[in-house]
Structure formats: structure tokens, C-alpha cells
């Protein structure tokens, strides 16, 4: 099945990586600046240690931070890019998501993936297992999360959008077809186009229209000019949600600001 581009507006996210910030106010300030710039979504990530730089550097936890962001912000959507399925019982995660959804007045995106960073597992006592086993666990957890969301009292304020991260062609993309509102992947254009076709085939198998799924990617470029060039290429390929990463302690948002202005020109 040939995939065709979807009719989504171009959106911009920022991933404020909760690493190398000695004091939490550095992150709080970055969230404020990002919202003031007009970003659509503020993400963090679900790890316990930095992914680059000093491996034992400063780091903060994901979901308690999302509760703080829910109170601090008023407009942007918020979420993890992405929650590690292994770290929390799926029913508990559903309740956490429902609670942050209410605190934020309906602005949470539930980003989730199977997990991959072995140091997190080893240091916090989770069984790392195999990549296939972690993916199987994710496949079992997604319907449990949906079921628990339907049982909670009070109910979430909206159908919480689910973002699934990853590009595995047999399992992950099938889970996207079955459960996700947003698919996120680190990708070059040729790889994206091939995997988007595979996702569309999975959608056909489960009886879902692929244009219901927003496609998302992280911008890899480090300079403004390169980021804008990359953004143009990704949007032309069919991706509509683009996320810029920024790390502590400085949380430089210069690329983000330029991409937000570029987004406005795309949607005008």
C-alpha cells in the first residue's frame, strides 16, 4: 500500500531533556521560555540518568515533572518522549496519565515506548530482558492502559492522545496502527517513506485509515539553517510534528525559536 501525506497542520515540539540541570528552576525557566515562543508541545524523557555528557550527571524524574509542568503552563500540550513501559504497572501509568490530564485541563499526550537504556534498568532493579520481550510487554500493556482509563473515576477530560515511539516493522508499527494517535521516529526521509508505507499496510490489516495518525520526527540538525532545511524535507515527505531537543544546563532554544517562526509560515 502506498502511503500518502496526511492533512495535519505543522506543529513544533521541544524535548527539554531533564539532564545536566543542577537546579530544577533551570528546567522551569526553559518551559516558560518555550511556551512564550509559541511551541505546541513540551516533552521531557523518561530516563534516570543522562543519555549523553557525564553519564552520572544531574538528572530529574519524568512524571513528577509533568505534574509540575501541568500547573506551570496554560496552553502547550505536555508529555514524555517517551515513557518507558517497563518502569510502571500499566494500570498505575493510566491513573498517572489521567491525573496529569486533569491537572493540565486536558493537555497531556501519553507518549510510550518499550524501553532500551540498560543503565536505567540495571540501576533501578528492572529486568532488562530482550528487545523482543520488551516489545511484547508493550503490546500487552497498551490495551490494559486503555481499559483502566475507561474505568477511572473521574474519567480523563478527553481521549488522551497516545504517541508511540519506535520504528520496528513487525511489532511497533503494528501497535501504532492499533493504538496510536501519533507515531514518532528518529528518521531520514528514505527510511521514513518506507516505514510509513509499512505502517499504512498495518492500518489496512486492522481496518484503520492511516490518515488518522499524525507522524512525528525529531530534528537532528544543530544549527538554525540546517534545522530549517531538515524541517522542509521532513514536512514535504509527510511528517507534520517536528521536535527540537535541548539539554541542560543552559537549554539553548535558538533553534526552537527559528523553527516556530518557520512553522507559522507553513501554516499561514
Concatenated DSSP letters of 206-234: HT--GGGSEEEEE----SHHHHHHHHHHH
Rounded mean pLDDT, 194-205:
96
Residue 214 CA to residue 216 CA, distance in Å, equals 7
Pick the CATH number of 11-267 from 3.20.20.30, 3.40.50.12280, 3.40.50.450, 1.10.230.10: 3.20.20.30
Residue 219 CA to residue 259 CA, distance in Å, equals 10
How many helices (H) and strands (E) are present in the chain, helices listed first? 9, 9
Q: Is 71 exposed, middle or buried (0-12, 13-18, 19+ CB in 10 A)?
A: exposed
Q: Say whether pLDDT at 268 is over 90.
A: no
In the prediction, which pLDDT does 201 show?
97
In the prediction, which pLDDT does 244 show?
98
In the prediction, which pLDDT does 5 show?
53
For the chain, what percentages of helix, strand and coil (3-state, to nearest 5) are there? 45, 15, 35
Position 68 confidence tier, pLDDT thresholds 50, 70, 90: very high
Nearest to 234 by CA among 249, 250, 218: 218
Q: Say whether pLDDT at 83 is over 60.
A: yes
In the prediction, which pLDDT does 3 show?
52
Rounded mean pLDDT, 7-13:
93
Longest pairwise C-alpha distance within the chain = 50
Nearest to 262 by CA among 31, 37, 6, 17: 37
The 8-class DSSP code of residue 105 comes to T
Model confidence over 144-190: pLDDT tens digits?
999 999 999 999 999 999 999 999 999 999 999 999 999 999 878 99
In the prediction, which pLDDT does 186 show?
85
Mean of the per-residue pLDDT values of the chain? 96
Alpha-carbon dihedral of residues 20, 25, 31, 37, nearest 10 degrees? -110
Residue 144 CA to residue 193 CA, distance in Å, equals 31
CB of 112 closer than 8 Å to CB of 138 = yes
How many other C-beta atoms can be found within 10 angstroms of the C-beta atom of residue 223? 11
Backbone φ and ψ for 34, nearest 5 degrees, come out as -65, -45
Q: Phi/psi class of residue 134: alpha, beta or left (left: φ > 0; alpha: ψ in -120 to 50)?
A: alpha
Nearest to 181 by CA among 197, 157, 165: 165
Model confidence over 22-62: pLDDT tens digits?
999 999 999 999 999 999 999 999 999 999 999 999 999 99
Model confidence over 220-229: pLDDT tens digits?
999 999 999 9
Q: Say whether pLDDT at 4 is over 80.
A: no
In order of 50, 64, 117, 192, the CA distances from 126 in angstroms are 18, 19, 11, 32
Q: Where are the domains of the chain?
A: 11-267
Amino acid at each position: 500500500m502506498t502511503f500518502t501525506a496526511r492533512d495535519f497542520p505543522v506543529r513544533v515540539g521541544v524535548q527539554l531533556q531533564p539532564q545536566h540541570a543542577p537546579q530544577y528552576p533551570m528546567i522551569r525557566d526553559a518551559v516558560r521560555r518555550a511556551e512564550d515562543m509559541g511551541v505546541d508541545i513540551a516533552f521531557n524523557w523518561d530516563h534516570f540518568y543522562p543519555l549523553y555528557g557525564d553519564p552520572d550527571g544531574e538528572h530529574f524524574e519524568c512524571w513528577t515533572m509533568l505534574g509540575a509542568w501541568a500547573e506551570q503552563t496554560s496552553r502547550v500540550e505536555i508529555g514524555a518522549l517517551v515513557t518507558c513501559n517497563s518502569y510502571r504497572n500499566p494500570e498505575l501509568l493510566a491513573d498517572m496519565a489521567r491525573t496529569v490530564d486533569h491537572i493540565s485541563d486536558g493537555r497531556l499526550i501519553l507518549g510510550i515506548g518499550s524501553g532500551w537504556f540498560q543503565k536505567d534498568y540495571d540501576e533501578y532493579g528492572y529486568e532488562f530482558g530482550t528487545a523482543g520481550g520488551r516489545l511484547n510487554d508493550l503490546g500487552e500493556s497498551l490495551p490494559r492502559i486503555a481499559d483502566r482509563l475507561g474505568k477511572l473515576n473521574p474519567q480523563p477530560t478527553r481521549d488522551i492522545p497516545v504517541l508511540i515511539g519506535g520504528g520496528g516493522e513487525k511489532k511497533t508499527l503494528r501497535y501504532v496502527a492499533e493504538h496510536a494517535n501519533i507515531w514518532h521516529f528518529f528518521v531520514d526521509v528514505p527510511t521514513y517513506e518506507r516505514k510509513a508505507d509499512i505502517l499504512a499496510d498495518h492500518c489496512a490489516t486492522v481496518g484503520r485509515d492511516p490518515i488518522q495518525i499524525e507522524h512525528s520526527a525529531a530534528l537532528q540538525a544543530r544549527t538554525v539553517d540546517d534545522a530549517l532545511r531538515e524541517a522542509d524535507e521532513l514536512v514535504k515527505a509527510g511528517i507534520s510534528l517536528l521536535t527540537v531537543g535541548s539539554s541542560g544546563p543552559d537549554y539553548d532554544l535558538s533553534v526552537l525559536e527559528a523553527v516556530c517562526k518557520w512553522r507559522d509560515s507553513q501554516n499561514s
